[in-house]
Structure 1
Amino acid sequence: MKPFGYPTTRLTLLSREVLVIALAAAGGGAFALLGMPAAWLSGSMLLSAVVALLRPLPSLRRPWFDATMVLSGTILGSAATPEALTAAARYPASLLVLLVGVAVIMAATGAYLRHVARWPWIDALLAAAPGALSTVLAVAQAKGANIGRISVVQLFRLLVLVALLPSVMQLSGASAGTPAPPVETVDAATMLGVTMAGLALGLVFERLGLAAPLMFGATFASSFLHGTGLVEGSLPMPIQIAVQVLLGSTMGGRIAHIPREELKGLFPLAIGGFAVSIGVAFLFAWPAAWLADVSYASGMAAFAPGGLEAMAMLAFAMGLDTLYVGAHHLVRFVAIGLAMPLILTRVKGEPPR
């Protein structure tokens, strides 16, 4: 038996995780030097995805992911100032537009995958669901759907959104521009208190079986503390950058788990599905943003068919209305989670003839 075998193995794994994070940080830093919007999130995600395609690296272990979710929720909740909560009274009409938009996105993208790709309806609708990837994959597994191709379409859409949406907004003039530095950052003691409160509530949510419990718990705890005025300010900028790098690394690394042949074969279909879903989403984003009196850039981020944590952090990095964007993605996440199992009970899995 080799001496110190276990600590050496553990140290080797840690060193590989540090390499993964360092590569992601290099991508984010390069984007930041180039002046790209949402640089740390989109740059880290893009380089992580490229590296994962060329040479798969180990995924970050669960503690890294859990810490990222808690800190992400804490950052997002800091946008819930008393003033922002007052402005949220304008959101209900926009949220109604969102629910209609989600249904149209699923119908249009599902029809494309059904009739162009000749997929069964059950696979087509699950791949068309805008966001809520963890819920979609859980339902796919329970229904015996093709998880591989559903994952390809979903992950492709998310990666393209995070990589390209900031630049598209900037080039089109819809972007809110470079985010201003936060007026105030919390001190170390307050940061620890808010984070621990979010972790505690997240663990409660986890015991209750809720989806994405740590992120939701931290978001709600931080929102309550900031919304009541008990806490003012956000986490220090180095922490915000680190969270974006970790989130980008996690998203980009997911592509390493998809077989290369399957990825190449489904690539054209993923592009078509993305074009349909994003076109419908941005069409509905315009009236919703007008009704809520927010910028069209915030509407684009709120209606973009990506994951909750990714799109909310993207909005934060771009200086958009984070509360508006987060509220819409949260409502969509819950709506998909509740409606998807009910819809699929009436859908059969046979391919069309």
Structure 2
Amino acid sequence: MMTQIKRLATAIGILFLVLFIIIIFNQLMQVYLYASTVNHTLGIVVLTVLTTVFVVLLVVPVALFFRLPKPLLAPDSEDDMPAYIPQLSARLAKNKMLLGHTFDWSQKEELQRALYVLDTQANEIIQKTARNVFLSTSISQNGKLDALMVFSTHTKMIWDIAHIYYQRPTLKDMISLYSNVGTTTLLATQIEDLDISEQLEPVLGTVLQGSAVRSIPFIGPLSSVIMDSLLEGSVNAFLTLRVGVITKRYCGTLEPFNPKKARKAAIAEASVMLKVLVLQVSGQVVNAILKTARNAGSNTVRSGMELAGKATRNVKRGFFGWFRSAASEPSQEQ
């Protein structure tokens, strides 16, 4: 079964790669033809430059990724740990993120402490990425555009976390990670073992019951807009945190990586991080919505006043016109 799935995934990947190359080739030829209408030499130069740029953009990231060392998988038993620790110690000793620290690489506890330092830096990237995703998606609320943005953001986050630990996941694990990214992005309400409403309800309730929000007189009509915005941003931020934690646990652990166990642990850790993030950032979203509502209200009032003034002027003109015509009629009769 797994062999068939791998073959199917490979075939689909090759198909998408061929389609991508065809699209790029078609666009390059169109640009070449447009440039050639001006000058044939210019067309050749433009084609050469664009082809070089596309090749560099395609090859360099792949080359940089595969230059990272392969992951050191933790052994299944404690008996194999003595042989594993020197390999991990040699790997961590070369990590630039740990140059300012001193560790006894022969001790398992010291390795765990070194991984904790890397975990802290990975958490900063995860929280920063989730914050950006929360703010952007809660304000934009554009489904397809948000899905594309979240997918690209998750991809870069995985890349950054892999570089922190100075190792790369295997092709199989990368497929698993990125497929999870795609699933969580496009099917956010149907993730396995995940009930987002349970995680978000107490957080959003606390935000909406805050004194700053309750003191605003017209919050009632806007409460649904604010709730939708916070829910949209919170869901995407939660998924970002979850993907980041799974990647972190894969790259930095002394235990064998168990996907199911990692998913459950990621949900618990992401839930804690989400509560802090939403309480810190939600005020910016609420203030942005209220500011927009106030501006829209003032513009509406201003427009209404202008229309009322215009109507008043029209009435006055009509009245004075009627008065003049009425006054001129007796003089004409005389």
**TM category, shorter:** under 0.3
Q: TM-score, normalised by structure 2?
A: 0.26
Q: Comparing both chains, which one has the higher relative contact order based on Cα–Cα distances under 8 Å and sequence gaps of 6 or more?
A: 1
Q: TM-score, normalised by structure 1?
A: 0.25
Structure (1 or 2) with the larger CA radius of gyration: 2
